[in-house]
Structures are given as C-alpha cells and as structure tokens.
Amino acid sequence: MTEPIRVAVLGGRGRMGEQVCGAVRGADGLELAAVVDAGDELTAVIDARAQVVVDFTHPDAVLDNLAFAIEHGLHAVVGTTGFTEQRLNTVRGWLAEHPEVGVVIAPNFGIGAVLSMKFAQLAAPHFESVEIIELHHPGKADAPSGTATHTAALIAEARKDAGLGAVPDATTSEVPGARGANLDGVRVHAVRATGLVAHQEVLFGTEGETLTIRHDSLNRSSFMPGVVLAVREVGHRPGLTVGLDPLLGL
Ligand SMILES: NC(=O)C1=CN([C@@H]2O[C@H](COP(=O)(O)OP(=O)(O)OC[C@H]3O[C@@H](n4cnc5c(N)ncnc54)[C@H](OP(=O)(O)O)[C@@H]3O)[C@@H](O)[C@H]2O)C=CC1
Ligand SMILES: O=C(O)C1=N[C@H](C(=O)O)C[C@H](O)C1
C-alpha cells in the first residue's frame, strides 16, 4: 500500500483554509499533517513531516511561506492571490536552486472558473469591446481579484495576437474610478457585497451583439476538487505550474 501524502495547510483557520482541511481529511491518499495560521511557527510543517504545503493566507505572507517551503524541499499548492509576473519570476529563481520541488500557483481552483477563463480567451479575438466585472464577499482583502487580473492578461494577449487595437472608449470626463481599473488595456470593475462568494462576468461586445461569460462560485466547496487534484499532482510536476489548466489537460 502506498503511503498517504502528508499535507500542511497554511492559513488553515481562514475561510478557505478550513474548507481545505476538511477536503484533505476526506480525500483518499491524503493526510492532514499540520494546520498553521497567523502567529503559529512555520517550523510546525517540518516537525509534522509534511510533504506538500497548501497556502491560502494573504498576499503579504505568501512569498515568505513559499520561500520556506521551497528551501525545505516541500512541494506547494498556492491559492493566495497577488502573483504578479515579477513575483512569479522570484519563485522561478528559488525553484532553480531546488529543481526537484513542484509549485502549483492557481488564481482560481474552481473548474468552472478555469473553463470560463479559457472561454474568454477564445472569445477575445472576435469582439472589439470587453470589460470584466468581478463580484466577491466583502471580507476579501484584494481588488481586483486574482482571477480577474489573470483573465485580463489572457484577453490582452489574445487581442494582441489577433492584431486588435485599444478597446473603443470616448470617455473624456470621468469621476475617478467610474471606469474601473485598467489592467493590460482591459477595464475591470470590482463589486463587494454581503451574500456573495466569488463571481465573475466577462462582457464582450461587437457590432450588433454581446456575449457574457459568467461564472459563480456559490460555495467554497467549489474550489476543493481543484485543490485536491493539485495536491495529488504537484509532486509529479517539478518547477512552477501557473494555473490549473495543464492539470486538467486544457
Ligand atoms: N485560488 C483560489 O481558488 C482561491 C483563492 N483565494 C485566495 O486565498 C487567500 C485567502 O482567502 P480567504 O481564505 O478568504 O482569507 P481569510 O482571511 O479567511 O484566511 C486567511 C488566513 O490566513 C491567515 N494568515 C495570515 N498570514 C498568515 C501566515 N503568515 N501564515 C499562516 N496563516 C496566515 C489569516 O490569519 P489572520 O486572519 O489572523 O490574519 C487567516 O486565518 C486570498 O488571497 C484569496 O484571494 C480564495 C478563494 C479561492
Ligand atoms: O478571495 C476570494 O474569495 C477569492 N479569491 C480568488 C481571486 O482573487 O480570484 C479566487 C476566487 O475569486 C475567490
């Protein structure tokens, strides 16, 4: 019989962390070895002989956690947001020193959300206008969401490859913020409201038609199959994997 994969959950008492602990406990072949939250010693992960750390903490904390994990030869599955290209390159640099370690960083572990980003990428070359509206619970620390940031980057790249110019917009007088944030030339609007979990609409427009691609995470359980898949896979994927797509064969 193969030994279970020993998993440590960082941010384990947070909204996502609690769900991840439950998912790990309930998953065949995984064992919850340690739960670490703010104020706990990260060395608990080593004491518990964890093989994979899962990080759902805070954009300000995640890089230090990752540096620790990689330095100690632990694989990492990261859902925490805030990964700019510069941060990803920093992680790549650390991994170059530890080529046996695997790290999966995914802006969104929801299978529907991953697919919706793919659909948006596919639609992007065919519409001159596009805007993103992301909607989340009011406890969210960052805006815009990591998913919206990643979606904007995918759309911008697809538009560039297709030779599309700037999104048409004649606005010359604006109350600051009224047109949202400009990410890679794509306007992103962030809504925060009690009752919401995690939602996104990508609104495309061209002459005579619009297309709306909407995804709703109605419960944080939506992220768990993706997290469990990444925990099982990360040890077989040395280096950095960004996004869940390759794990889903997309
Ligand atoms: N990729 C994905 O699919 C998803 C990503 N996320 C992202 O995950 C992150 C966490 O979200 P959420 O669970 O809602 O946030 P929460 O604030 O509910 O949870 C974060 C937890 O991490 C703790 N924490 C903070 N710093 C550290 C640290 N250095 N070490 C260990 N624990 C720490 C916090 O403690 P304290 O409160 O005391 O600071 C808190 O308990 C966010 O970046 C969010 O955007 C969320 C959902 C899905
Ligand atoms: O904070 C959240 O809740 C979420 N964060 C991620 C993001 O910023 O995209 C993923 C999902 O949207 C939920």
Catalytic residue, chosen from 58, 72, 140, 160, is 140
Q: Which residues are annotated as a binding site?
A: 11-16, 37, 79-81, 106-109, 137, 146-147
CA atoms within 13 A on the CB side of 49: 4
Tell me: the pLDDT tens digits for 5-22? 999 999 999 999 999 999
| Global pTM exceeds 0.95 | yes
Tokens representing 128 are: 């001159």
CA-CA distances (angstroms) from residue 19 to 29, 52, 82? 17, 17, 21
More confident residue, 2 or 179: 179
- What crossing angle do the helices spanning 111-123 and 224-233 adopt, rounded to 10°? 90
Going by alpha carbons, the residue nearest to atom 47 of ligand 1 is 16
Residue of 63, 85, 104 whose CA lies nearest to 184: 85
Indicate the average pLDDT of the chain.
98
Q: So what's the pLDDT on residue 2?
A: 87
Edge-to-edge strand ranges of the sheet holding 186-192: 181-183, 186-192, 129-136, 198-206, 209-217
**Alpha-carbon distance 176 to 33, whole Å?**
48
Distance 97 CA to ligand 2 centre (A): 30
CB 151 within 8 A of CB 118: no
Catalytic residue, chosen from 136, 150, 199, 215, is 136
Mean pLDDT of 36-41: 97
Tell me: the pLDDT tens digits for 111-162? 999 999 999 999 999 999 999 999 999 999 999 999 999 999 999 999 999 9
